[in-house]
Structure 1
Amino acid sequence: MIREEITIGGPVGLHARPAAEFVKLAERFKSRVRLAKDGIWVNGKSILAILTLAAEKGSLVILEVSGEDEAEAFPVLKEKLTRNED
């Protein structure tokens, strides 16, 4: 398992389009993906769950990836959250 607290980037944080793009990216991996904000953990492969976090630009979230391809998945997903260009 790889877990790290990161800061959400991009001008609008994780609203609908960036959340959908993150989920699409996460679904390419076999590993379990979870996000947490303010102690609330959600499935990182569910757009509705991610939207409930209301993670705006600058929000601190925990990204957790666990599974057989976690070493490959984690840096890709972290990059998407920190450099969101939407």
Structure 2
Amino acid sequence: MKQFTHTVKDKVGIHARPAAQLARALAPYKSTVLIERNGERVSAKKGIAIMGLAIKYGETVSFIVEGEDETETLSALREFCCQNI
């Protein structure tokens, strides 16, 4: 299991478009990826679930990655977060 925290830099937070883009970016990977905000965890591979967390600008979220390709998944996740959210 690997973890990663990220502070949201997008001024409008994680809304529909970045949530869907994140889910699409993670789809090719086999690992389970969870995103956590204020103790609530959902699948980061489901855009609707991500939107349900109502993540706002400046909030810090945690990602939990577990599976056979977790190193590659975490690398792609970090790159996506740094470039998009």
- Displacement, 1:8? 1.6
- Number of residue pairs matched by the alignment: 85
Larger CA deviation: 24-33 vs 2-11? 2-11
4+ aligned runs moved over 4 Å, structure 1: none
Please give the root-mean-square deviation of Cα atoms over the aligned residues, in Å.
1.4
Q: Which residue of 1 aligns with 2:13?
A: 13
**How many angstroms apart in 2 are the aligned matches of 1:52 and 1:78?**
21
Unaligned runs of 5+ in 2: none
What does the per-residue CA deviation read over 1:1-44, in whole Å, with 9 as the maximum and x for residues that have no partner? 11122212223221000000000011110100100000000011
1:66 aligns with 66
Mapped to 1, the partners of 2:18 and 2:46 lie a distance apart of 12
Identity percentage over the alignment?
A: 36
8 Å CA contact 1:23–1:44 kept in 2: the answer is yes
CA distance, structure 1, for counterparts of residue 82 and residue 17 of structure 2? 15
Query: CA 1:49 to 1:35, structure 2 compared with 1: closer, same or farther past 3 Å?
Result: same
Counterpart secondary structure, 2:84: coil
Greater CA drift, 40-49 or 75-84: 75-84
Deviation at 1:82, TM superposition (A): 3.3
Q: Distance in 1 between matches of 2:44 and 2:37?
A: 12
CA distance 1:61–1:40, change in 2 (3 Å): same
TM-score (norm 2): 0.90
